[in-house]
Structure 1
């Protein structure tokens, strides 16, 4: 029941809603009363929980038709009578519509709403609240239920977006309705295209307040992929003019929408370029072709984007999305999309501002250079190469950071023939790192310490990039110096989480490059690894340390064993510590699998506590309305699945025969499959979870055999999960799902043969009467000797007979069938291997024939 008291009980709900709708419709009531009544009506019709929403809608449809009609009349009468925003009546109308329209009820609603908007006598409040109702309906209802009304809805929206419309509130409501209707009005865009674009663009030219301007520029952003293929070239200058006006706005939200519009255009044209390449390789024309709008707009876009790069604030939060960052991304997309054509437009800005007195302009010039590294040919970029050198102003603000970032991009994208330059760069970075470490004794102030730590972080990040490019034999020659510098850095920066994190990641890269040769540094490095694992107060450091444990396990394998006790203890403590950031815990679970893979059977001593921990983590539940928690749950499940996989593979061993140690996991197999079954029922599972789940199914099949098959058979959702994995667009998921499916089918096939075929030691046969065998055999012989049958069909007949022989454990008629095959049709050589599988003792008779 909605309430308690005299109105409680399901039979009182119609009366309750009628009375509420009367309160809502009466203009004489206070605003508070009308809003409260509208809220109660809306909440009785809809909910954020899909299941509850369905229940509310079914309850509404069960109400008497006359009562529903009365309520609908009241809420429609309320439209236009409210002086407050947003309209309560529009939400009630949408709630009722979402319940009735899908079951073909209330057909008169859309025409009535359209009439409210198009009627010249309608008030501003009437048009605004009606357009709000249309927007809510388009947002909440399945688009297929509105296809028949698409033209009418577009008519109302276009009417509300007219330049002649005096009310900006009406234009805003119409634009919001347009955004919500895009999905089901695509088919109408061809006919209404020019009208609709003109309305959108004209409305965008008349912003009266920030929120309105933001919304109206957002309209074209959402529409970009819809109208791209139909946009005439004559609209390009108009759109450039409007979006650049937005990009120049002092309001960040408006500027962001103008910039992101062109980012969307670049994305669309890059997709079209890929499609054109694929079509050319296949010798066919592409379905859609690029209009090269981005290339045509470069002369207008690049100056405003580069100018936006200079609007940075040295105190910007890295996580904040602002026009400066959006401009850098857009410039990068333009370079990728337009390639060499972007260089002449960016080059003047770089040359003019690389030595500008204001650090923001110098930083912007370096950022512009870094943004166009991908796309243009190397010959176009050579004139732009900036020498990274010691300079008097090198310490100022973000200039040094931008220079190092540009250097890292150059190293990361360097070709093989640039390896000598990479070697020299590595030596320069090492020399600078050692020089910086020697400067610590000269630090006198907090500002000096901050700059010192920032420079160490930049050098560590650059060191990672060059180490990834260094060959193994060269890495061995410099590894002693690298580790000595990093160990000294660990000692001097115990209070700086950022430097500790960067240093740990540099060690991780060195581990990847050296592999097992890193073992000689473990004793010296282990204390700092332990400090990192204990540093849950700075969770990024702890996370980097956990990732490094994974790299060490893969590089050192069994040699990590002497250090495992202490590492495992810290990992388990972190899992149980509420003060450890939640993002660390999925990675810890995953590392259990890496440790098991590295030390194999030695993992037995940790097995029980780890499996108990995984079982507890596998049962975690979160609030499904919180998207961040849903993502976290998927990460947690991925960690559990990776741990189970690593443990099973580690205990199983590399040998073809399964090692007995893995049987210690067998009591948990049923729970593991229940966990996978639970994942299969969760619609919010990620593709990564699916990939790990199907991979684990395959490992369970190859390890525990028929026991797994029986448990899977009673959980059909697992087969659905495998099917989903085989359809995945991710190669890893598709490959693992296909392999797991084959392993499962192999078990089923083996189980059938084990059931149907007695062993050589027993004389008991399956229950198949001799006369039935004779009837079957006669039918097979008749089929084989029928000359009108296609030879492929006859091959199938013989194969079927061989399956029957396998079932009844005899070869009595196989000889005669093969003889018939020799006489009447093709050679039987291909059948001999299958005949030999039936009973080895009867092979001689077949060969005799």
Structure 2
């Protein structure tokens, strides 16, 4: 593509006419496919040519950058590989052109060039293939003859490079950045952040330093270099420019997160700096200083949790992972400071605005501190709360309530319980406060009390509490009403597994159920219910009330069911003239499906049966929409109906089948696919052989799912397990599908995970569970159908998989996999008897049984005993 053509094409990509825009985008895509190296060079020249229209230069640089960037890891690797495949001499010309554009006198051009240059550096620096890049950038920053704007763009380029390397390196096969490279980067950045530099340069350097900390551990391990980095950052916190100070504190936050073990000798300085800044600096900088303590609390919480986990096995954490307890040591000074920030509410902000201000930062930090120090937070905070919770000054009233709310997640019932008990009457009165922010915080606090310390609520105030929250559902703003829904939801959740209801047939909520259902359904119909998640909060509260309803309100639930079905039927006639209307309509339909599901789970077959025709008719209409969330809810609710109706569900299969197939093939909305697979398993278990007429198409869809390389990996384990469900349902009728399913299982069993990838190890364990469930179902199904002989040729492959599991037990298989493996051994022994004596006598079979016994898990141990007795029978035969 010639330069004039490229200029025109880039501008056409911004044309409001979709026809012109689409043609231009296609032309750029064609140029990329035809000769990528020439296209890169053409874009680089467009970016670097002085006198060109600045918009065109910017568009060229951004398109250059986007040719190397992707959000998807696989696509990102492909783009990097395409760049590396360009001959070195051609890349050299392109790189020289792009980095030269950083010296442009045009600010937009050099800034865009910095972005494009950073993408190339991200690919090449880990392989030490472009050392002159850093040399040029260093010269730009340190040379006295270079314009400040060029220094800033050069530091921006370093910052972008560090940021991109920090993001892409952990997810790629690239080598670690060499110490020489990080040394040169840091030298350049530290030079830019010097106190004698102009503030815009210092700001760019501070941002770059923050981005570099992700991969400069070698430098942080060296005391002299670490001291230099800390000194540089601390000096920057004293800059007269707020942006520089904010960026410097961001660096301190990064160090707290990534280098906690290096903080000790600097903590006194950081303590003094952050406290002075929180108390005296402008809001944005003060918030960043608070963030340091928030991060410190989060890190210490993780280290405490690690120490507790290790203590269970008699181990101790390594020295670099020991919690020093900085937060607890600072409590007496930190808590008063944070409470001071709580009184600096933003008077201009609307209650319904989630504006991140100083008081919110302080409250968040206080909550994290409470989670870390637990009971120790009560002493420093509660005197402030008690002194100001009924203050005449609304700022102090709200701050006291917010402080109390913030620490609820940390302390035990024993430590905070007496204060909760005393606070309920005061908080209920504060729900009618003259100040909206006080009411809002109060409603939120009551919800948190119901979530974390519901047992501390005095029994005699329970009626007042329920009624107090219910009144706010219809009379307050959406935000406060949403908090009230949250409180009712948590009150209902407190009655999970309630033994009292099981024996007495009732609980404290029973008298309020009819009125709460009626009021919450009125909330759903509020014109402003879409604000502050109010409608969703109301539906969730109704759902939790249903789930934990005592037996004495069964009739109320059965009266509610036709009301919900009717609402779902009427929802299809709601107007949907705009996208917002459509989202609202489909959101309501999904939520109503969820309510039908929870009511169904509380009902017997006889109670539910009269409503099933109407329910399934409505569900199928929901499945005709294009909303994935609605499909998930409808499929999940249908599963509940299937499990209750059992074999009687077969009457609905003809109508449901096309939509079930669409769900099984919905590879893009993979969560829908997962739920559809779960529904299929439930249908197989409920209808058994009646599923046979639909199985050819079903198996085709499952095999397609397994062969689809772009399908999210989480779908594949349940798909494999579903083979077992189908085999159990069909018995001998599974024969037509046996070979293909065993081939899929064999291929899946080859999947391995590297020892250092915890996520992949977890996934492979889930995959193996699915494989074992499938093998178990197939063996049991064919045995029940008297055709176990069909699987005999495949037995060696199954035992090969079991051998691999036995060999990998120590490293990467969990107890769930082990339990299912032992169960499969027992099923094989029971089904084949002496036919598999050779295979079952292998040492690894006994090793699996031995490992199962060693888990001391009662279920696994019982399975091991059963399997062991069957194995012994085979060996003795």
Equivalent of residue 89 in structure 1, options 82, 96, 113 = 113
In structure 1, C-alpha distance between the alignment counterparts of 2:326 and 2:234, rounded to whole Å: 17
What does residue range 95-134 of structure 1 map to in structure 2 within 5 Å?
A: 95-101=119-125, 105-134=129-158
1:343 and 1:380 in contact (8 A); partners too: yes
Alignment TM-score, normalising by the size of structure 1: 0.74
Q: For residues 142 and 639 of structure 2, what CA distance do their matches in structure 1 show?
A: 65
Deviation at 1:375, TM superposition (A): 2.9
2:432 maps to 1:394: yes
Quote the offset at 1:172 in angstroms.
Answer: 2.7
Q: 1:691 to 1:243 in 2, by over 3 A?
A: farther
Match of 1:628 in 2: none
Partner of 1:70: 93
Q: Is structure 2 residue 702 aligned with structure 1 residue 673?
A: yes
**Aligned counterpart for 1:486 among listed residues 500, 516, 520:** 516
Match of 2:646 among 593, 600, 608: 600
Q: SS of the counterpart of 2:632?
A: helix
TM-aligned CA distance change 1:517 to 1:571, over 3 Å: farther
The alpha carbon displacement at 1:680 in A equals: 6.6
Please list the CA deviations of residues 707-732 of structure 1 after superposition, one character each: whole Å capped at 9, or x if unmatched. Answer: 66533444479726986799977999
Q: Secondary structure at the match of 1:388?
A: helix
Classify 1:483/1:95 alpha carbon distance in 2 versus 1 (closer, same or farther; 3 Å): closer
Whole-Å separation in 2 of the counterparts to 1:102 and 1:150? 10
What secondary structure does 1:476 align onto? coil
Paired residue for 1:710, among 714, 722, 739?
A: 739
Quick one: which of 616, 619, 623 aligns to 1:568?
616
Name the structure 1 match of 2:336: 303
Residue 672 of structure 2 corresponds to residue 636 of structure 1: yes
* Aligned match of 1:589: 635
Equivalent residue for 1:185, pick from 216, 232, 238? 216
Alpha carbons of structure 1 residues 387 and 79: separation in structure 2 relative to 1, 3 Å: closer
Residue aligning to 2:296: 265
Once the two structures are superposed, residues 654-693 of structure 1 have per-residue CA deviations (whole angstroms, 9 ceiling, x without a partner) of: xxxxx3234354234324423642677445x56xx56755
Aligned twin of 2:235: 202
**Aligned residue in 2 for 1:775:** none
Structure 1 partner of 2:748: 719
SS at match of 1:650: helix
CA contact (8 A) 1:27 1:81 kept: yes
Q: Quick check: 1:373 aligned with 2:402?
A: no
Q: Secondary structure at the match of 1:108?
A: helix
For residues 142-185 of structure 1, give each alpha carbon's deviation from its aligned partner in whole angstroms, at most 9, with x where no partner exists. Answer: 54252242222222222222223x22232233233333333332
Inter-partner Cα distance in structure 2 for 1:703 and 1:202 = 72
The 3 A distance-change label for structure 1 pair 545 and 104 is same
1:550 Cα deviation from its structure 2 partner: 1.8
Shift of residue 28, structure 1, vs aligned partner: 5.4
- Contact 1:336 1:375 (8 Å CA) reproduced: yes
What CA deviation, in whole Å up to 9, does each residue of 1:548-573 have, x standing for no partner? 22212222142322212222222332
Pick closer, same or farther for the CA change 1:223–1:207 going to 2, 3 Å: farther
Secondary structure of the residue that 2:367 maps to in structure 1? Answer: helix
Q: Give the conservation status (yes or no) of the 8 Å contact 1:425–1:466.
A: no
Whether the 8 Å contact between 1:725 and 1:733 is mirrored in structure 2 is no
CA 1:648–1:154: 2 relative to 1, 3 Å = farther
Is the contact made by 1:24 and 1:75 (CA closer than 8 Å) also made in structure 2? yes
Contact 2:233 2:248 in 1 (8 A): yes
Q: Aligned residue for 1:616?
A: 662
The whole-number CA distance in structure 2 between the counterparts of 1:219 and 1:615 is: 52
Select the residue among 328, 334, 337 that pairs with 2:369. Answer: 334
Q: Give the direction of change, closer, same or farther, for the CA distance of 1:523–1:17 in structure 2 (3 Å limit).
A: closer
- Residue 550 in structure 1 maps to residue 580 in structure 2: no
Structure 2 length normalisation: TM-score?
Answer: 0.72
- Aligned to 2:690, which of 637, 650, 661? 661
Structure 1 position 741, deviation (Å): 3.0
Larger helix proportion, structure 1 or 2? 2
Does structure 2 conserve the Cα–Cα contact (< 8 Å) formed by 1:408 and 1:462? Answer: yes
Cα deviation, residue 412, structure 1: 4.2
**How far is 1:265 from its partner?**
1.0
1:716, 1:745 → 2: CA distance?
A: 8
Structure 1 stretch displaced more, 216-225 or 371-380:
371-380
- Cα deviations by residue, 1:40-65 (Å, 9 ceiling, x for unpaired): 65456556676776666555555555
Deviation at 1:336, TM superposition (A): 1.9
Which runs of 5 or more residues in structure 2 are unaligned?
7-26, 170-174, 575-583, 795-831, 839-866
C-alpha change, 1:729 and 1:487, in structure 2 (3 Å) is same
Identify the range of structure 1 (494-503 vs 370-379) with the bigger mean alpha-carbon deviation: 494-503
Does 447-456 or 361-370 show the bigger shift? 447-456
Counterpart in 2 of 1:820?
Answer: none
* Alignment CA distance shift 1:95-1:393 (3 Å): closer
Q: Output one character per residue of 1:365-397: Cα deviation in whole Å (capped at 9) or x when no partner.
A: 122112222333555435633241564883432
- Where does residue 741 of structure 1 map in the other structure? 771
Cα distance per residue 1:807-845 (max 9 Å; x no partner): 899xxxxxxxxxxxxxxxxxxxx999879759x9xx6xx
Matches within 5 A, 1:22-171: 24-27=47-50, 31-32=54-55, 34-39=57-62, 41-42=64-65, 60-61=83-84, 65-85=88-108, 87-101=111-125, 105-141=129-165, 143=169, 144-148=175-179, 149-164=181-196, 166-171=197-202
Q: CA deviation at 1:269?
A: 0.7
Deviation at residue 229 of structure 1 after TM alignment: 0.4
Q: Output one character per residue of 1:755-800: Cα deviation in whole Å (capped at 9) or x when no partner.
A: xx9979xxxx99xxxxxxxxxxxxxxxxxxxxxxxxxxxxxxxxxx
Q: 1:758 to 1:538 in 2, by over 3 A?
A: closer
Q: 1:226 to 1:20 in 2, by over 3 A?
A: closer
231-240 or 460-469: which moved more?
A: 460-469
CA distance in 2 between counterparts of 1:169 and 1:428 reads 58
Contact 1:331 1:372 in 2 (8 A): yes
Query: In structure 2, what is the Cα distance between the partners aligned to 1:70 and 1:154?
Result: 27
Match of residue 264 from structure 2: 232
Mapped to 2, the partners of 1:454 and 1:22 lie a distance apart of 56
Contact 2:47 2:101 in 1 (8 A): yes
Aligned partners of 1:593 and 1:645 also within 8 Å = no
Q: Distance in 1 between matches of 2:780 and 2:684?
A: 22
Going from structure 1 to structure 2, the CA distance change for 1:326 and 1:465 (only over 3 Å counts) comes to farther
